[in-house]
Structures are given as C-alpha cells and as structure tokens.
Amino acid sequence: MRKHLVLAAAAAALLISGCANMDMTDTQRRTATGAGIGALAGAVIGSATGGHAGTGAVVGAGVGALGTYIWSQNMERQKREMEQATQGTGIGVTQTADNQLKLDIPSDISFALGRSDIQGNFAPVLDRFAEGLRNNPNTDVRIIGHTDNTGSDAVNNPLSLDRAASTRNYLTGRGIDGRRISIEGMGERQPIATNDTAQGRSRNRRVEIYVGERPRG
C-alpha cells in the first residue's frame, strides 16, 4: 500500500508542478491542478478504505479535474441572458467542463484590427454582462486576449493583454469590482483556426471571458 501511495503522490506532484511550466490558460491550469489534487486524495481514500490506491487516484483525478466552481441557478440564468443578448452576433456562450460560463467573442464584434479600444457593437454585450455580474457577486471573472500570427510577439503579446485590459476597464466602469477580474494576454500562442487564411486569422483574433461561481463557505 505504501508503494502505491508513493507512486500516486509522485504522479499528483508532477501534474501540479508541470502546470507552472506549460503554456496554459488559467482554466487549463486549474483543471490540471485539480486533477493532481484529486488523484492524491483518491489514492489516500482508496487505500484507507481497503481499495486500490491506483484506482482511487484515477477516480480522484477525474473528480478533481472538474475544478472548484459550481453551476447554480444564478449561473444558468446568466447563461440564458447572455445567449439572448448575443443572439445573431457570432459570440459563443457555453458552459465549460469545470462549470464556468464562457463567452467566446470574435474580432469582428470586439476590436478593430491592431486596436484595443472597445467597438460600439461590443459595448451593449458588455453592458448586459456587467448586469449579470452585479446580480451574482460570488463570481470570479477571467478575461483572455488572443491575436493571430500577423506581426511579432513584441506586438501581439501586449496587444492581446491590452484588449483584455480594455474589457476589464469597461466592466469596472459599469460598477464591477476590479478585484474580481483577472486578465491575461496569450498573443498568438493558442489559435483555434489556421493562420493561413483570412477567415482563420479573424477567428484567432478574439477575447474569451470566463465566469466561475465559487461554493459559499
């Protein structure tokens, strides 16, 4: 049993420490870290209850990977409201595997090419989004900016961060506490389409907003 626990602990440590060295979004890091913690907890429980530590680690990793957010009635209501507010805009509104609300905002509605100021058709969406945040104050917000591969990292990295910052600043200007919001600029490092076509580059120039509600203590 001791050997199995040691192996499970080592695997969990590798999962957790590896997150710091990988090019991940905060959501991906949270999921991987949760998996590592879950694996260790599952191994301990499995051994303590007479089961197999390795099996417990696998089960625990799956549970831990779901993260620490809950999907409450407030979150479901905010999702429906954002679906209505963004209908026909091309903005994706989804629930992630770790119970976050995700807004995937393409460049044609959010920012002009090479710029970080909020476009006029993006503002009403953010107004509605801010209203949902005010109605559910027990949430964290993460805003991640992305670019295509046009230009150098010296241009794209700060541009992606500036776009995330502009989105945050717009929300704080609508009464949202800035301490609830974290921002990140990924530059061109996480494309969702090919950069070989104009259409693909347009898809890669985007902003992603994640909202997660934490369990009340």
- For 68-78, what is each residue's pLDDT tens digit? 899 999 999 99
Residue 115: per-residue pLDDT: 87
Q: What is the pTM of this model?
A: 0.71
Higher pLDDT, 16 or 109: 109
Lay out the sheet containing 92-95: strands in order across. Answer: 92-95, 100-106, 206-213, 139-145, 181-185
Task: Say which DSSP state 145 is in.
Answer: E
Q: Where are the alpha helices (DSSP H) in the chain?
A: 2-19, 26-48, 53-64, 73-85, 107-110, 123-135, 153-172, 198-204
Q: Is the model's pLDDT at 51 over the cut of 70? A: no
Instruction: Say yes or no to pLDDT of 63 above 50.
Output: no
Token pair for residue 27? 């959501």
Supply 128's token pair. 């509605």
Q: Is the pLDDT of residue 50 over 70?
A: no
Question: Encoding tokens for residue 201?
Answer: 């580059």
Cα angle for residues 164, 119, 177 (degrees, 5° grid): 45
Q: Which contiguous run of DSSP H or E holds residue 202?
A: helix 198-204
CB 117 within 8 Å of CB 85: no
Element (H, E) at 44: helix 26-48
All domains in the chain, ordered by first residue: 2-64 (no CATH), 73-213 (3.30.1330.60)
Q: Where are the extended beta strands (E) located within the chain?
A: 92-95, 100-106, 139-145, 181-185, 206-213
Q: How many CB atoms lie within 10 A of CB 53?
A: 24
pLDDT of residue 113: 81
Q: pLDDT, tens digit, for every residue of 80-92?
A: 999 999 999 899 9
The pLDDT value recorded for residue 96 is 97
Phi-psi region of 151 (alpha: psi -120 to 50; beta: other; left: phi over 0): left
Q: Give pLDDT tens digits for 155-197.
A: 999 999 999 999 999 999 999 999 999 999 999 999 999 999 9
Query: For 184, phi and psi rounded to 5 degrees?
Result: -155, 140
